[in-house]
Amino acid sequence: MARYVTTDLHGCLTTFRHLLENVIRLQSTDELYLLGDYVNKGPDSRGLLDYLMQLPGQGYQVQCLRGNHDQELLDAARGRRHLAWASQADRTLTLQSFGVKATEDIPEPYLRWLDALPYQLDIPGFTLVHAGYDFRLPPDRMRTDWHTMLNIKQFTFDASRLQGRRLLHGHVPTPTAEVKQQVKKRAGSICLDTGCVYRLNPELSHLAVLELDSFELTLQPNIEPPYFIMQR
């Protein structure tokens, strides 16, 4: 049995499937944790959700957390238009993947799945969340401040708040060399977002998966067919 964590897939279905099926060769006895951002920016948001949603039915142990892009798509589809949702190019790619003209037309099963995603998870040795926490808040508020948990980009890690567990998160695209260093020194807080969707940036453009017990990091290059993405 192995425990794997990855994050920020952003519609990169071909890359993710290759990572699972051909690189780590996920088994039904393994545990797979995903830290959010399944949609927007990349080429196949719907295909990625279809793939994730069918994995448990095939006997795989998969737990998916909520990311800010998942929340933004859900909000847009529910008519909360005052909230920002992606750039025009992002919207076009995402809506095309669903075969619809407007977010309100995204089929309900996808919205229900997104709406059921938890914000955080504690497992032996680790706390998992999409973006992180505001460690300056009182402990009870820190872990119920949903907006921060989806969106924070900088924080000062305080190990005492997590009862000795390491923090694993995504959200901030981080060069592969920096993530390798964090993993090598077994940092208390590790960002696993290596910006897979940013296919034009050689410092990013990888999907990172960490095996939690061996602490082995695997970096899978983006192998999607070409799609429009802003340089980062």
Tell me, what CATH number does 78's domain have? 3.60.21.10
- The pLDDT assigned to 90 comes to 84
In a domain, 75, yes or no: yes
What integer pLDDT is reported at residue 158 of this predicted model?
A: 95
**Cβ within 8 Å of residue 153, ≥6 positions away:** 131, 171, 172
pLDDT of amino acid 218: 98
Q: Does residue 228 lie within any of the structural domains?
A: no
Look up residue 224 and give its DSSP letter: P
Assigned domain for 182 exists: yes
Of 9, 94, 11, 42, nearest in space to 228 by CA:
42
In a domain, 99, yes or no: yes
227 in a structural domain: no
Domain assignment present for 94: yes
142 in a structural domain:
yes
The whole-angstrom separation of Cα 11 and Cα 117 is 17
Range of the domain at 163: 3-221
Asked if 4 and 31 touch (Cβ cutoff 8 Å), the reply is yes
CA distances from 30 to 2, 62, 63, 70 (A): 5, 9, 11, 25
Residue 82 is predicted with a pLDDT of 62
pLDDT at 81: 67
How confident is the model at residue 86, as a pLDDT?
Answer: 74
The DSSP annotation for 9-25 comes to -TT-HHHHHHIIIIIS-
The domain total for the chain is 1
| pLDDT reported for residue 79 | 87
Q: Is residue 232 part of a domain?
A: no
pLDDT at 83: 62
Query: What per-residue confidence (pLDDT) applies to 87?
Result: 81
Mean pLDDT by 10 residues, the chain (232 residues): 98 98 98 98 97 98 97 92 74 94 95 98 98 96 97 96 96 98 98 98 98 98 94 78
